[in-house]
Amino acid sequence: MDYISAAEAAKRWGVSERSVRNYCALGRIEGAYLTGKSWNIPETAAKPERINRRDRVPADLLSRLRAEKEARLHGGIYHRIQIDLTYNSNHIEGSQLTQDQTRLIFETNTIGPTEAVKVDDVVETANHFRCIDMIIDSAASAPSVRFIKQLHAVLKNGTTDSRRDWFAVGDYKRFPNEVGGRETTAPEDVAEQMKKLLAEYNALEEKSFDDLLDFHYRFESIHPFQDGNGRIGRLLLFKECLRYGIVPFIITDDMKMFYYRGLQNWPTERGYLRDTCLAAQDHFKKVLDYFKVPYEKA
């Protein structure tokens, strides 16, 4: 199939390029996909019909996130998720930045007056914002080795680790690592195990909440990267919730030990991780209610 750019589509349809990008972001052009910052639009695509505002159905979460991201809207749910997901996921992994500092980095690209902070904490926070944009843009696509490695490359770009010869940014680990005192997949076996995981997961025609959690558990058990596995895993989990219309969730610091217990016991007792994630999901539903984003009520 041949593709055209947003500029070409705008000229063909007699609308602004911004309008075309909004059509794409809202999923109104079937088959359109994003490469970097450029939309690729099927050459045969027709201009979407105008929607009467009185008949407009409230956008689902993914559509809302794409629209607010495209519009660079502040104060909406996209803004809220960027800060909450980034702060909590980084904090679980040891970042010392506060939520207010995380907010300032997102809103103003500064951290304000503060005592000394680790440069890596600031860099990885800014990088995590970009990773969230990546999972929103690619939410409809099946996870792939290429995409997962790209996420890792973006997360660790410009960090101290990226300047170490032995640290493979955007590629699988070269040395064994542990998680919670447990052994993980040996470096020489990672590529094969990741290929197997993705093949088995993507082969499932319909995916339940437990299927997503099982994918997350298996990913963390492989621990494919030298560092950053927890954050990459939680980003993928959030992405897959968006993909399947499942209410996503954010593991907050006060849930960390329950989350770790759930991962450790998943093979023998799935209830621990499931209940923790369902509790986090209930909290996120309050955020959706506040921003008036519809979701399927259980």
Query: Token pair of 262, please?
Result: 């759930």
Are residue 222 and residue 269 in the same domain, yes or no? yes
Domain of 43, in residue numbers: 3-56
Are residue 135 and residue 211 in the same domain, yes or no? yes
Distance CA 52, CA 34 (A): 27
- pLDDT grade for 100, boundaries at 50, 70 and 90: very high
pLDDT in tens, 237-292: 999 999 999 999 999 989 999 999 999 999 999 999 999 999 999 999 999 999 99
The domain total for the chain is 2
Q: Which of 275, 92, 98, 120 is nearest to 180 (CA)?
A: 92
Lowest mean pLDDT among 34-48, 69-83, 186-200: 34-48
Phi and psi at 31, nearest 5°, equal: 90, -5
- pLDDT grade for 51, boundaries at 50, 70 and 90: low
Are residue 36 and residue 84 in the same domain, yes or no? no
β-strand pairing of 38-42 with 3-4: antiparallel
pLDDT in tens, 219-234: 999 999 999 999 999 9
In a domain, 96, yes or no: yes
**Is residue 217's pLDDT more than 60?**
yes
**Is residue 54's pLDDT more than 70?**
no
In a domain, 114, yes or no: yes
| pLDDT score, position 39 | 87
Are residue 26 and residue 76 in the same domain, yes or no? no
Instruction: Using a cut of 0.85, tell me whether the model's pTM lies above it.
Output: no
Q: Which of 136, 147, 19 is nearest to 66 (CA)?
A: 136
Question: Read out DSSP for 149-183?
Answer: HHHHHHHHTTSTGGGSTT--TTS--SS--EETTEE
**Is residue 189's pLDDT more than 50?**
yes
Beta bridge partners of 34: 39
SS3 content of the chain, % helix, strand, coil (to 5): 55, 5, 40
**Is residue 53's pLDDT more than 60?**
no
